[in-house]
Structure 1
Amino acid sequence: MVTMNGDGPTTCLDQGEQLRRRVEQLERQLAAAEQRLLAFAEGSSEVVALLDARGTICAISPAVEHILGYAPAACLGMLLYPLIHPEDQARIVPLLESLALAPGARTSLQMRMRHQNGQWCWVEATAKNQLHIPAAAGIVLNAHDVTALHRAEEQIQADRELWDAVMSASTTAIVVMSAAGQLVFASPRAEQLLALPADEPARRATLPALDMPLRQVLDRGEPTPDIHHTISLPNGEQRVLSLNGIPVRAAAGQISSVVFSIADITDQQIFAQQLIRRQQMEAVGRLAGGVAHDFNNALTVILGACSFMMDEVAQHPALRHDLEQIQEAGERVSILTRQLLALSRQPALMPQPLQLNTSIERLRLMLQRMLGRQVELRLQLDLALGLIIADAHQIDLVLVNLAAHALDSMPQGGTLLIETAEVALDATSVPGHTLTPGRYAMLAVSDTGEGMDRAAYERIFDPFFVSRRSGTSNGLVLSSVQRAVLQLGGAIWVGSDLGYGSTFKVFLPFATAGAAPPPAPPFPGLRRSVLVVDPDPHVLAFARAALALAGYQAFGPELLEHACPHEALDVLIIDVHTPELAAQVARLMAALPQLQVIYTSGHTHAALALLAQTLPALPDLIKPFTADALISCVQARCFGDSGVA
């Protein structure tokens, strides 16, 4: 068959031949494209997979064997989801199911997939919905192995946590500063020591407090040890620091930053000064001892001559009166020289019966001179107090050192009160001491100074303790007092609150042991409820235990935190020096008008009278008190003096 057109005759066979050639050409191009695509997939380190809408693997590149260990042929027809870690399926499966419903949509995935050896690999992938494209007709998934990266991130996180733990546990402060003076890093100890602000912008500002050490390291250009530097904190407190600075250089060789390790040596500096002062005082004491010996030699002559001349001037009253005045003055000087000798040496202990009041009166003049004009000395002595067994030198040491501590706590002046009394104690009355139950002589030394916070209270007898408020170290003074009291077979107790002064109570055995007070007759608490509030945990534990043994239901201060007060509460026992709890106590008393209140204090009534403080009431119990005294007081409030409910 022949057809005609403008160019000449063309047969149908010619058209068919052209079409066949065109098809062959397209097939060759398609095969080449497929070869290029296959070569690309085989050469890629990423897994390229084609999934149907249900997540079945329709095609997958050879890289799957390198990443997951599966042969590509083995993956065909396999569901993807079982290969995903169970913890990740809950997140990944909904994402892919949603993707299958959104033509052209794309999403990023990070998940754990099971390797053929059973281990889990971290995989990062992108998936794109091409179900609507006939040539693909599936979800194209490109994935690569990020296990090494993920493990590195985990290691970095573990290292960071370890670093944070080391920095938190370290007592040395670590600070990194840029060469421009900007704070780069501060350990928790450094934040505390330098009182750094909590907000990040302020923390990243310059740190003028360390300008001098930074300049010193930058100028030297090498590690600089033991830089002593004093800083002032926002609260006005000054701290002495010892810094070791190490410069860090950038690739070009210039110093980019400086690492400081910082130790607070304030306490050591103060203690060193106190030690030097103590050594100086010991030298002065030795000198005073030598002078006292010379004075005693001269006084021996003076007093001896006076005694000889007394008989010769018996008939001359005026001359005898003058001699008596000379003799009296000489005896007073003799007492002072004996005191100087006692304080300048450590003689062997010579316990003997002595009158405590007499020892106090003997030292009165010396104590008043030591205290100066700004501190008034008051005595309130029990004139009926019996004899104690003690060493006179030790008693002098206790009195002088307690007075010295009181003087340090009253820089603006005040009042020092010395009291004696007879008290009854049981075995647990004084925390930290085990006493024989009975009656004791009490020596109380009270001041109107600044008092102590809980931190100072806990370390008051530590020889190395330094008061951060006053910057002085009385640890050596008070530790020597404690040692002397223990050598005398007694006990020492401290009552102090910040802003309310301090009272030191020394309990010493009588020469004739006082009979133990008869125990209070047993009287069941009948499940009455008592709330005990005291800043001293030892007193709190003792009081609660004593009340529980007597049959009372004893609660601690945690009850004050309850929104609703305990309806059955009968008695509140609380220290008068707890102003921080005033609002809670007032709320409790308003809710329970029948509540009986027993106030306690570590200060004596006479000491409290000296304090210019408004107190809720005078204390009913003076610490340390016995279990019998506590129970008797509670019984009186619950049942009246008759003991009948």
Structure 2
Amino acid sequence: MDMDDRPSAQPGDRTAENRRLRDIMDAIPAHIAYFDDSWTYRYANKAYAAWFGRESGQVVGRRIVDVVPAEVFDAVREPLGRALEGERVIYEYTMSDAAGRTLYARSTLVPDIGAAGEVLGCYVHAVDVTEQRRTQHVLAQAQKMEAIGQLSGGLAHDFNNMLTVVMGNLAGLREARPDDGALQEFVAPAMQAAQGGAQLIERLLTFSRQQPLAPRPVEVNELILGMAKLIRRSLPETIALHTASRNAELVAMTDAHQLESALLNLALNARDAMPEGGELRIESAVETLDAAAAAELDIPPGDYVQVTVRDTGTGMDATTVAHVFEPFFTTKRFGMGSGLGLPMVYGFARQSGGAVRIRSRQACGTAVALLLPRTVASPAAAGEAGTAAPATPLSGQLVLLVEDDPEVRTVVRKQLAALGCSVLEAENGQEAADIVENVAAISLVLSDVVMPGGLDGCGLTRFIRRFRPGLPVILMSGYVDRADAVTRDLGVPLLAKPFSKERLSAMLDAICR
């Protein structure tokens, strides 16, 4: 066909092209609009209009201030003005949707320059970055909590060594002067305070996910009903306690004792948030998380047992909620709380393979939900009490004690001596290895895990396994996070610091049988 023989374009063709162009613009997953120099919209695709809860026909021909929410207009007024002066502008803003959720958008404004260099208007290209911001927030929060957890674990190790010395010397003083009533009056509260410090460190380790758990299938509804009796005795008459479950059988893979402790902590927090009385509800249900919901909590998708503790108390603002899982953060008066209750709950949930969700509104109350992995396994039957094996006499046993802290070494040496053991001491792994090679009479090695030098407790254990395979080893540490790795890789028991002479005796009896 010759070029001159082509049919001329008909008006209907241009209309079809425009319709097709509009369809393409509406299909693009971006918010596209145009406004002129009078701040009036001349075009908006479906996505742009829908972002503000409108249709395109409700946007075109109207001024920006009449379309976008007032808080959004206040936030974007300045970049819009700069764009109409000829500057290409990129900015972000937030707004709330109908459900009250915060939405995030990133906008790019490109000035429309006329032939004479004047600015006729601006092209708008915006994208929804809500999920990206939420993911970044989850990552940042996880990194912050991980850093705090590592710091907490390091502090706990040092405090455990100190408490080992304090409690060991107090116990020795009490045994040396059993008939001195005046002395006992000083020793008893000091020992009680030291034991309280050990419990505080244990809660700190639970937050930092360094406290070993004993997970097993647990029937959560039965556990809640059992705990309700204890919790009810801890509540004033002005607070009503109710329990409810949406499912008859809820079996979670968790540590029952830690779950009980977490529920008690949440219940006591709820009680303190209702000084004038109110209602406390403990609810349980199966919660199925899809990929998006699971990613927001940084756990795998699937079925979880959700236990929610809900109160009608004073509630918290968003700033407070953002910090409640941080150690030592508390809204209670000085001396009324350690600030470790919710961090302990958080650490327990994370270590169990689950998560914690919290919802709170001031003057309306707070709901804290524990999500724990659901299992189809049957709850473990309570073990029947068996006949205790007779204790093995420790008198005459030669124990090699390996500990780099001289004060801790002194306390443990005295405990071993009080149990009838003879003791050799080494202050590092290399010295201990030399003694093991040259002293055949050693019947047991009690070693710290973390020690300076090239040979720590784990390395020493491996050396003993090669050189004297039958020699029993017990490891002790204030870093309780090593327990799982030590038990799994080396197959030796671990004694967590601080420990009493009775716990040490029980461990020695068990390993020497």
The alignment's TM-score, normalised by the length of structure 2, stands at 0.44
Task: Choose 1 or 2 for highest CA Rg.
Answer: 1
